[in-house]
Amino acid sequence: MEQYDHTAIEEKWQRVWADAGAFHVSNASTRPKSYVLEMLPYPSGTLHMGHMLVYTIGDVVTRFRARNGLHVLHPQGFDSFGLPAENAAIKEGVHPRVSTERNIEHITSSMRRVGWAYDWSRSLTTHDPTYYRWQQWQFLKFLERGLAYRKGAPVKWCPNDQTVLANEQVRDGRCERCGFEVESRLMEQWFFRITDYAQALLDDLETVDWPDSIKARQRNWIGRSEGAEVLFLIDGLDEDVPVFTTRPDTLYGATFFVLAPEHELVARIDSDDVREYVRRAGVKKTAERAQAIEKTGVFTGLHAINPVNGEQLPVYVADYVLTDYGTGAIMAVPAHDQRDFDFATAFGLPVRQVVRPPDNDVDESVAYVEHTEGEVLVNSGEFDGLPAPEGGRGIVERLEAEGRGGFTINYRLRDWGFSRQRYWGCPIPIVYCEECGIVPVPEDELPIVLPEIEDYKPKGVPPLAQAEEWVNVSCPKCGGEAKRETETMDTFVDSSWYFLRYCDVSNDEAPFERAAVDYWNPVDLYIGGVDHATVHMIYARFWVKVLNDLGMLGFREPFAQFFSNGWVTLGKTKMSKRAGNIVGPDDFIERYGADACRLNILFLGPANEDMEWTESSVEGMSRFVRRLWRVVSEVAEVAPTSEPGAGPLARKAHWAIAKVSDDVGRRFAFNTAIAAVMELVNELSRESAGPESRFAAETAVSLIQPYAPHVAEELWSKLGHEGLWEAPWPVADPAMLEVESVEVVVQVNGKIRDRLQVSPDLDEDELVALARASERVGEYLDGEEPARTVVVPGKLVNFVT
Partner RNA sequence: GCCGGAGUGGCGGAACUGGCAGACGCGCGGGACUCAAAAUCCCGUGUCCUCAGGGACGUGUGGGUUCGACUCCCACCUCCGGCACCA
Residues 158-217 close enough to bind RNA by CB under 7 A: 167, 171, 212-213, 216-217
Pick between residue 245 and residue 421 the one whose CB is nearest to RNA: 245
- Residues 702-741 close enough to bind RNA by CB under 7 A: none
Q: Is the dihedral of CA 213, 215, 218, 223 positive or negative?
A: negative
Q: What angle do CA 367, 373, 376 make, to 5 degrees?
A: 65
Residue 745 touches RNA, criterion: CB under 7 A: yes
DSSP-assigned states of every residue in 318-348 = -TTS-TTSTTSEEEE-GGG-HHHHHHHHHHT
Minimum separation from the CB atom of position 291 to RNA (A): 8
Residue 71 touches RNA, criterion: CB under 7 A: no
The CA distance from 41 to 54, in Å, is 10
- Residues 95-114 close enough to bind RNA by CB under 7 A: none
Pick between residue 512 and residue 729 the one whose CB is nearest to RNA: 729
Q: Among 221, 232, 520, 588, which residue interacts with RNA (rule: CB under 7 A)?
A: 221
Residues 6 or more apart whose Cβ sits within 8 Å of residue 489: 135, 139, 418, 419, 420, 425, 426, 427, 428
Residue 749 touches RNA, criterion: CB under 7 A: yes
Q: Do 256 and 342 contact (CB within 8 A), yes or no?
A: no
Q: Is the dihedral of CA 526, 527, 533, 535 positive or negative?
A: negative
Minimum separation from the CB atom of position 539 to RNA (A): 15
Pick between residue 126 and residue 564 the one whose CB is nearest to RNA: 564
Helix (H, G, I), strand (E, B) or coil at 603: helix
Q: Which stretch, 29-37, 59-67, 220-228, 305-313, contacts RNA (CB under 7 A)?
A: 220-228
Q: Among 7, 110, 379, 617, which residue interacts with RNA (rule: CB under 7 A)?
A: 617
Q: Which amino acid is at 766?
A: E
Minimum separation from the CB atom of position 334 to RNA (A): 11
Residue 788 touches RNA, criterion: CB under 7 A: yes
Give the chain's largest Cα–Cα span.
109
Question: One symbol per residue from 340 to 369: x for binding RNA (CB under 7 A), - otherwise; what is it?
Answer: --x---------------------------
Minimum separation from the CB atom of position 336 to RNA (A): 9
Residue 679 touches RNA, criterion: CB under 7 A: yes
Q: Among 401, 455, 686, 723, which residue interacts with RNA (rule: CB under 7 A)?
A: 686
Q: Do 742 and 734 contact (CB within 8 A), yes or no?
A: no
Pick between residue 91 and residue 666 the one whose CB is nearest to RNA: 666
Q: Among 674, 696, 711, 712, which residue interacts with RNA (rule: CB under 7 A)?
A: 674
Closest by CA position to 148, among listed 430, 409, 475, 477: 430
- Residues 534-553 close enough to bind RNA by CB under 7 A: 534
Q: Which stretch, 51-59, 346-354, 443-451, 679-687, contacts RNA (CB under 7 A)?
A: 679-687
Residues 6 or more apart whose Cβ sits within 8 Å of residue 426: 81, 126, 132, 135, 136, 450, 488, 489, 493, 494
Q: How far is CA 691 from CA 353, 535, 632, 736, in A?
A: 86, 57, 14, 16
Residue 611 touches RNA, criterion: CB under 7 A: yes
Minimum separation from the CB atom of position 612 to RNA (A): 6
Q: Do 727 and 689 contact (CB within 8 A), yes or no?
A: no
Minimum separation from the CB atom of position 603 to RNA (A): 7
Strands 405-411 and 224-235, bridge-based pairing: antiparallel
| Beta bridge pairs of residue 555 | none
Q: Among 25, 36, 61, 330, which residue interacts with RNA (rule: CB under 7 A)?
A: 330
Helix, strand, coil shares of the chain, percent, nearest 5, are 40, 20, 40
Q: Do 436 and 396 contact (CB within 8 A), yes or no?
A: no
Q: Which stretch, 135-143, 379-387, 419-427, 621-629, contacts RNA (CB under 7 A)?
A: 621-629
Alpha helical stretches, state H, 75-160:
83-92, 96-114, 129-144
Residue 67 touches RNA, criterion: CB under 7 A: no
Pick between residue 6 and residue 127 the one whose CB is nearest to RNA: 6
Q: Do 341 and 269 contact (CB within 8 A), yes or no?
A: no
Minimum separation from the CB atom of position 221 to RNA (A): 6
Pick between residue 193 and residue 626 the one whose CB is nearest to RNA: 626
Q: Among 605, 691, 778, 793, which residue interacts with RNA (rule: CB under 7 A)?
A: 605
Q: Extract the runs of DSSP E, i.e. beta strands, from 166-270.
A: 170-171, 174-175, 183-192, 224-235, 239-245, 256-259
Q: How far is CA 80 from CA 451, 561, 705, in A?
A: 17, 26, 32
Question: One symbol per residue from 623 to 642: x for binding RNA (CB under 7 A), - otherwise; what is it?
Answer: xx-xx---------------
Q: Which stretch, 272-280, 454-462, 487-495, 680-688, contacts RNA (CB under 7 A)?
A: 680-688
Pick between residue 211 and residue 476 the one whose CB is nearest to RNA: 211
Pick between residue 556 and residue 627 the one whose CB is nearest to RNA: 627
Minimum separation from the CB atom of position 602 to RNA (A): 11
Question: One symbol per residue from 651 to 670: x for binding RNA (CB under 7 A), - otherwise; what is it?
Answer: --------x--xx---x-x-
Minimum separation from the CB atom of position 208 to RNA (A): 16
Neighbour tally for 459: CB within 10 Å: 11
Residue 753 touches RNA, criterion: CB under 7 A: yes
Binding footprint of RNA, residue count (CB under 7 A): 87
Pick between residue 283 and residue 290 the one whose CB is nearest to RNA: 290
Minimum separation from the CB atom of position 658 to RNA (A): 9
The CA distance from 631 to 694, in Å, is 11
Residue 249 touches RNA, criterion: CB under 7 A: no
- Residues 43-62 close enough to bind RNA by CB under 7 A: none
Residue 256 touches RNA, criterion: CB under 7 A: no
Q: Which stretch, 95-103, 132-140, 291-299, 509-517, contacts RNA (CB under 7 A)?
A: 291-299
Q: Do 35 and 527 contact (CB within 8 A), yes or no?
A: no
Residue 792 touches RNA, criterion: CB under 7 A: yes
Q: Do 487 and 428 contact (CB within 8 A), yes or no?
A: yes
The CA dihedral of 267, 271, 277, 283, to the nearest 10 degrees, is 50
Whether cis (ω within 30° of 0) applies to the bond prior to 440 is no
Q: Among 319, 485, 490, 698, which residue interacts with RNA (rule: CB under 7 A)?
A: 319
Pick between residue 222 and residue 448 the one whose CB is nearest to RNA: 222
Question: One symbol per residue from 410 to 449: x for binding RNA (CB under 7 A), - otherwise; what is it?
Answer: x-x-------------------------------------
The CA distance from 624 to 632, in Å, is 12
> H or E stretch including 157?
strand 148-158
Q: Among 41, 326, 558, 709, which residue interacts with RNA (rule: CB under 7 A)?
A: 326
Minimum separation from the CB atom of position 185 to RNA (A): 17
The CA distance from 711 to 722, in Å, is 13
Q: How far is CA 276 from CA 52, 281, 283, in A?
A: 55, 9, 11
Pick between residue 235 and residue 531 the one whose CB is nearest to RNA: 531
Q: Among 609, 637, 726, 764, which residue interacts with RNA (rule: CB under 7 A)?
A: 609
Residue 603 touches RNA, criterion: CB under 7 A: yes
Q: What is the DSSP letter of 646?
A: S
Closest by CA position to 249, among listed 266, 263, 228, 224: 228
Pick between residue 292 and residue 401 the one whose CB is nearest to RNA: 292
Minimum separation from the CB atom of position 360 to RNA (A): 19
Q: Among 461, 638, 752, 769, which residue interacts with RNA (rule: CB under 7 A)?
A: 752
